[in-house]
Amino acid sequence: MSQEASLKRYTLLVAAMASFLTPFMGSAVNLAIPSIGHQYSSSAYLLSWVATSYILAAAAFLVPIGRLADIVGRKKVFIAGISFFALASVLCGLAWSVEALIIFRAVQGIASAMIFGTSMAILTSVFPPQERGKVLGITVASVYIGLSLGPVLGGFLNHNLGWQSIFYFTALIAVLAVLFTLARLKGEWAGARGEKYDFAGAALYAVGLVALMYGVSSVTASHWAKYSLLLGLVMLVLFIRHQLKVEHPLLHLKLFSKNATFAFSNLAAFINYSATFGVAFLLSLYLQVVLGFNSQTAGFMLLSQPVLMALLSPFAGTLSDRIQPRVVASLGMAVTALALFIFCFLSMQTPLWLVVANLALLGSGLALFSSPNTNAVMGSVEKKFLGVASSTIGTMRLTGQAVSMAVVTLILALYVGNVELSQAPADMLVKGTRTSMLVFAATCIGGVFASLARGNMRKQGEVEQPL
């Protein structure tokens, strides 16, 4: 095997392992939430932060770290990120309190941003354009494998070995990825070496996003939340003003103002993730706390959504090459809204087959939306902006997930209050779940219009000139 072929092979292997890690961790931890709550006698509000702290930290640091990697070297940042991810995973397993677990999850989120912001960029640096579609498809499959195995393997590990085993298992995969990277990935990639790093923009972005999300999710639990919300809004407005003036910005905001397809496709992605990410967290509580199933059984019930996503995504992507992506993606958003609306009628008497079938419907809607929408984003910019487009849609995904968990945290705090999860009234948990689903369904209906508003994509060679 030639040196070039070997480099490609191991780069793909490392990227696939990295792509598996974060979705697996997210979906597996959702199954462990009741067990964590039982061990620490924690409230539903604090437990929601076990998921939220990770996503919020990843969202806040993805853009700043992605830009830093372009300047100092993507491989350096990737190795540091996956090493920190392994260490943070071990610390999560050793956490002595729910507050410590939340802090270590935030560290894990920052590390995942270092992985997110570099793995795809390294992959596209190593593979030529004519091979990228295939390898990107393999890494997307790794994401869906992570999402699919998370509920099943996470539920199994939690039920038989304790919730800590989920973090130790993830740490083991991260260590293997580090060893492969150090041993096999030769060279370095830095697309913006020599350019100045915008430290002021990075600080405004990270602090603004964290303050805003904390303010939204904690408005009923903390007197200081409203001030945090105001601070976050001010910081993000200052960030936007700063980005329009600086020579080398973290985010190319002119892409949004000059390119309607790019702007509305990213908005649709943000809305979709805002309306769907919290569903698995809510249903994990519903199946385990309300209905009394163990985590292993609950994991199998939650499996239908990611399996349908994995099965239908290639078909949806191919369909969007033949039909305008906005049509396929908008249909997917509408199907997603329908599934969320059906969950608004969830009760303690809802047949389990209906829950599983509706999760399959939700997975079908997400599959019809995700691939065509990504196709629309990546096809709406010139080649020199592909890296920017990739990191932007990643940011929309993570911030959307953070917003989704903020909504769940806020609504559960309103219905359940700051009581231990084991003492939370089952009927109030169900009411909180139904209210969250109603908010998500309404959000998704708005997303259909955002998806349709993007207009038709131009044919190859007629890409808009955004800047």
Same domain, 54 and 41: yes
Residue 439 sits in the same domain as residue 366: yes
Is the distance from CB of 407 to CB of 436 less than 8 angstroms?
A: yes
Asked if 280 and 171 sit in the same domain, the reply is: no
Same domain membership, residue 176 and residue 110: yes
Q: If you compute the radius of gyration of the chain from its CA atoms, what whole number of angstroms results?
A: 21
Position 7, amino acid: L
What pLDDT is recorded for position 191? 53
Distance from C-alpha of 369 to C-alpha of 351, rounded to nearest angstrom: 28
CA distances from 407 to 75, 76, 95 (A): 36, 36, 26
State both tokens at 355.
């829950």
**What's phi and psi for 40, nearest 5 deg?**
-100, 0
Please tell me the predicted confidence (pLDDT) of residue 87.
93
Query: Any idea how long the chain is?
Result: 467
Burial pattern 19-30, b for ≥16 Cβ within 10 A else e, equals bbbbbbbbbbbb
Task: Give me the residue label for tokens 């990639």.
Answer: 189
**Residue 229 and residue 98 share a domain:** no
Tell me: do 182 and 204 sit in the same domain.
no
Domain count across the chain: 3
267 with 356, same domain: the answer is yes
Contact 156, 112 (CB under 8 A): no
Whole-number Cα distances in Å, 377 to 184, 211, 277, 366: 32, 28, 20, 16
Residue 312 sits in the same domain as residue 344 = yes
Q: Say which amino acid occupies 42.
A: S
CB 377 within 8 A of CB 265: yes
Instruction: Quote the pLDDT of residue 69.
Output: 75
Per the structure block, which two tokens stand in for 380? Answer: 């709406």
- Could you tell me the CATH number of the domain that includes residue 455? 1.20.1250.20
The crossing angle, in degrees rounded to 10, of helices 129-161 and 164-184 is 150
Counting DSSP H helices and E strands in the chain, the numbers are 17, 0
- How far is the C-alpha of 411 from the C-alpha of 273, rounded, in Å? 17
pTM: 0.76
179 and 208 both lie in a single domain = no
Residue with tokens 């994509």: 457
Domain boundary pick from 181, 214, 247: 247
Query: What is d(CA 98, CA 32) in angstroms, rounded to the nearest whole number?
Result: 13
Q: Are residues 202 and 308 in the same domain?
A: no
Q: Tell me which of 208, 228, 247 is where a domain ends.
A: 247
> Which string of DSSP letters, residue by residue, matches 307-368?
HHHHHHHHHHHHHHHHS-HHHHHHHHHHHHHHHHHHHTT--TT--HHHHHHHHHHHHHHHHH
Distance of CA 463 to the CA centre of its chain: 28
Residue 124 and residue 137 in contact, taking contact as beta carbons nearer than 8 Å: no
216 shares a domain with 119: no
- Name the residue with tokens 């070496």: 193
CB distance 242 to 354 below 8 Å: no
Residue span of the structural domain in which 307 resides = 254-467
| pLDDT tens track for 402-461 | 788 888 888 888 887 766 666 778 888 899 999 999 999 999 998 888 888 766 655 443
Q: What DSSP character marks residue 420?
A: B
Assess whether 282 and 149 both reside in one domain: no
> What are the tens digits of pLDDT across the range 212-241?
877 876 766 677 777 888 888 998 899 888
- In order along its 467 residues, the chain shows pLDDT tens digits of 566 666 677 777 777 777 788 778 877 887 788 888 888 888 777 887 887 888 888 888 887 877 777 777 677 788 888 889 999 999 999 998 889 999 999 999 888 888 876 766 666 666 666 565 566 656 766 777 777 777 778 888 888 888 899 999 989 988 887 887 776 666 555 555 556 777 888 888 888 888 887 787 676 667 777 788 888 899 889 988 888 887 777 777 777 777 888 888 888 889 988 898 888 888 888 888 888 888 778 878 888 887 787 777 777 767 766 777 778 888 889 999 999 999 999 988 889 999 999 999 998 898 888 777 776 776 776 655 655 666 677 778 878 887 888 888 888 888 877 666 667 788 888 999 999 999 999 999 988 888 887 666 554 434 343 33
